[in-house]
Amino acid sequence: MFKDNFLWGASTSAFQIEGAWNEDGKGLTSMDVRSFKKEDQIATTKVAMDHYHRFKEDVQLMKKLGMKAYRMSISWARIIPDGYGKINQKGIDFYNQLIDELVKNDIVPIVTLYHFDFPMELIKKYNGFASRECINDFVRYSKVCFENFGDRVKYWLTINEQMVISQMPNFQGIYINDKHEEKKVGWQSYHHMCIAHALVIKEYRKLHLNGFIGPVISYPTYYPASVKPEDVLTAKQVEDLKVFCLTDVHFYGKHPDYLIHYLEKHDLMFKMEEHDEELLKNAQPDFIALNWYTTGIVGAYQDGQEINNDESALKPRRDRNIKGLAQFYMNPYLEYNEWNWNTDPVGLHYALLKMWERYHLPLMIVENGLGHRDVLENNQVHDDYRIKYLQGMVKHMSKAINDGVNLISYCPWSFMDVLSSSDGIEKRYGLVYIDRTDFDCKNLKRIPKDSFYWYQKCIQKNGDIE
């Protein structure tokens, strides 16, 4: 059963909805540049969903939905256009107005400080988080946010999906042709972000604000491909390297030995300075926020061999492996969408139990959703597939709570259709349809989907959907 004060909400991020990419002093970001590279293929950040100009209308839709919380992000380059220099008062003003509008409508802001959109001037200056210099710039920016918005923001999230940024440096605006060098730069950035996260938590606590702070972890949950011991061990090792190495350093204040061993073995070990271990200590988060979408199946590495015969119920995802360690498979017991993301509400239950048992910290789900090519017909969107997805997730969140998990919020991805980080506008996640295409902004009309009204009832019944 969900507690009476459970924070039902929904999520977005700045670069995926705001638009106004160069208005009122905002600086250029990595996600602007990334979208402009695909301008002939997909929608860009230039207009996105035009939330910058329509935020009051959007907040009223949030109120209509019954949202208790809204997981959003602040664009670093809207607050400090070059990432390190002069503060942009117009950026401060915009987020003050948005936060005030949320509070006025009894919606709790859950604010992410860095959600992929990295200031490009910091890339030009010193290659972003690949440099230690970026740590102080991020801490300063975070402090500016705490000082300006901390009186009204109760929940702060530091870095969104740090592991994704580390493994895909182009999200940070770094483009490297050599794959091994790209991995090395990614792991060095990872280490610097770990320090930045820890220092931001310490800075927040110095201010004695009445709120809480934690990381945002992407948690792809893995099952072993069989009961073969090598497969079981591989699934654990992959989950450790993709998820728990990060939560371990946040919780224990030290990089785990299994990560150090793996990086040294593969010539990927990051450089550490003498006092780095001290910097990582004493910054345990107040909660852990999870971006959770799918489960995967992992077996021992097959050295390119196909496992697709009568002896195996599983098909290998031939384009996905970790050389020398793991082979990824499809799950024949689950449904997949066209982007090969499966639907597994039981997997969410399992993931929540694992995370709770490992750390015993309050948990939030701040992303969880189904991407689909929604169709607008007669001013309506009948997304029964998304309702089915949400029903399963809510049902198994309730079961996890009954099993003792302290889950405090659910914010599915996403409140409205957003600009996908890789696939434009046609991969839609929203509870609210935005009437535009990749190449025609049309009128950007906001149209609640059937899932909007289902979720509205779910919130009204506090998750009692049986």
CB burial readout 401-424, b (16+ within 10 A) else e:
beeebebbbbbbbbbbbbbbbebb
Reduce the DSSP state of residue 71 to 3 states and report it: strand
Contact in structure between 194 and 249 (CB atoms under 8 Å): yes
For the question of residue 357 being annotated catalytic, the response is no
Calpha distance 94→175 (Å, rounded): 31
For the question of residue 377 being annotated catalytic, the response is no
* One-letter identity of residue 105: N
Rounded to the nearest 5 percent, the helix, strand and coil shares of the chain are: 40, 20, 40
Exposed, middle or buried: residue 176 (CB in 10 Å: 0-12, 13-18, 19+)?
Answer: middle
Give alpha helix (H) positions in 306-409.
345-359, 384-402
Give alpha helix (H) positions in 302-419.
345-359, 384-402
264 Cβ contact list (under 8 Å, min separation 6): none
Closest listed residue to residue 68, CA positions, set 411, 453, 365: 411
Cα distances (Å, whole numbers) of residue 212 to 27, 175, 439? 29, 35, 41
Closest listed residue to residue 202, CA positions, set 134, 108, 135: 135
Q: From the candidates 161, 203, 357, 426, give the one annotated as an active-site residue.
A: 161
Calpha distance 429→417 (Å, rounded): 6
* One-letter identity of residue 172: Q
Cα distances (Å, whole numbers) of residue 447 to 18, 41, 51, 150, 378? 17, 25, 14, 32, 11
Q: From the candidates 367, 377, 426, 466, give the one annotated as an active-site residue.
A: 367
Contact in structure between 62 and 55 (CB atoms under 8 Å): no
* One-letter identity of residue 442: K
Calpha distance 357→355 (Å, rounded): 6
Contact in structure between 326 and 238 (CB atoms under 8 Å): yes
Q: Which residues pair with 296 in a beta bridge?
A: 222
- Torsions phi, psi for 316 (to 5 deg): -70, 145
Calpha distance 106→214 (Å, rounded): 22
Give catalytic residue positions: 161, 367
